[in-house]
Amino acid sequence: MSLEQAIRLLIIGIEVGSIYALVALSVVLLYRTSRVLNFGQGELALLACFLTFTLTSRMGVPLWLSFLAGLAASAVAAGAFYFFLMRRAKAQDPMGLLILTLGFSLFANGGLSLLFGVDNKQMPGFVDVIETWQIGNFSISKNSVLVAVAGLILMIGLYFFVQKSKIGLAMRAVSQNPEVAKALGIPVNVVLVSSWAVAAILGSAAALLLAPAISLNPSLMLDPLNKGFAAAVVGGMTSLPGAVLGGYLLGIIEAYVGNFVPAFKLALAFILVILVLVFRPHGLLGEKETRRA
């Protein structure tokens, strides 16, 4: 392998890893606060993409404004889903809640397909996906740089939000023990609605960054969501830094393995999951969970 090819694969891995890491962060954030795996995360992201596409391509709204509107719609839908459905069903066992999110996923996907169609659509992007920068003998895709930088900015923003903001600190308290947090006067339901909204924004941002490079259709988030779940398990379901590590690790390994052994590319994520579960069941950066009172 030449140095140029190795660097090009590394850039691709970082680009794809940024998408996986954002999805994994949305998965871990929800699991930490709600102890729920939301299979409807992909449909919330699809809502953002279809709304952004409609506003920009059919109504002439500037892309940046459509982008923000898509994120906002996804956040509102996620918060409403928790408040009106998940909150009322929280007494159910984890399997019941899991099935509820799966049902939401199927219902929402069908509804979005009915409203926006199942044909492939070309999502507008902030840069042309085929444009490159030439640096010496290397050519770097502008879209790859955009995805990597935007993903990094979102991850840093999430860090400061969780560590420094009042709602972020409240999320951390609720994730430790919701009953104690409630006794201390923390509005647990408000915190949980906020965590669902923030998770939806992360997943939707990943979809909006990914969509211009591929066709926009109802199955857009199927593979990224699966890989995001895998990255969350690899990094640790209780660790936000672990979600980032898992996403980038999966993206980079997938880029190199896919280049040499394409047949293993689809199965690679689940091979990594199996290895992690066997040798480090709590993930690379995860910690053993204790039962909350």
Q: What is the pLDDT along the chain (293 residues), one digit of tens a residue?
A: 778 888 889 999 999 999 999 999 999 999 999 989 999 999 999 999 999 999 999 999 999 999 999 999 999 999 999 999 998 887 677 888 999 999 999 999 999 999 999 999 999 999 988 888 877 777 888 999 999 999 999 999 999 999 999 999 999 999 888 889 999 899 999 999 999 999 999 999 999 999 999 999 999 999 999 999 999 999 999 999 999 999 999 999 999 998 888 878 888 899 999 999 999 999 999 887 655 54
CA 215 to chain centre: 18
260 in a structural domain: no
User: pTM for this structure?
Assistant: 0.95
- Write out the residue range of the structural domain in which residue 185 sits: 33-226
Q: Is residue 233 part of a domain?
A: no
Report how far apart, in Å, the C-alpha atoms of 139 and of each of 12, 19, 149, 219, 258 are.
12, 21, 17, 30, 20
What pLDDT was estimated at residue 289? 66
Domain presence at residue 293: no
Q: What is the pLDDT of residue 206?
A: 97
* Domain total in the chain: 1
pLDDT the model gives residue 293:
45
Instruction: Compute the radius of gyration of the chain from its Cα atoms.
Output: 19
Structure tokens at 179: 């009953």
Helix axes 265-279, 240-260, angle to 10 degrees: 140
Please check whether residue 171 lies inside any domain of the structure.
Answer: yes
User: Is residue 131 one of the residues assigned to a domain?
Assistant: yes
Residues 131, 157, 66, 202, Cα dihedral to 10°: 90
Residue 56 domain-assigned? yes
Report if residue 160 sits inside a domain: yes
At 208, which amino acid appears?
L
Dist CA 47 CA 135 (whole Å): 37
The pLDDT assigned to 91 comes to 63
Q: CA angle, 37 as apex, 32 and 41 as ends, to 5°? A: 110
* Residue 74 within a domain: yes
- Which regions of the chain does DSSP assign to beta strands (E)? 132-135, 138-141
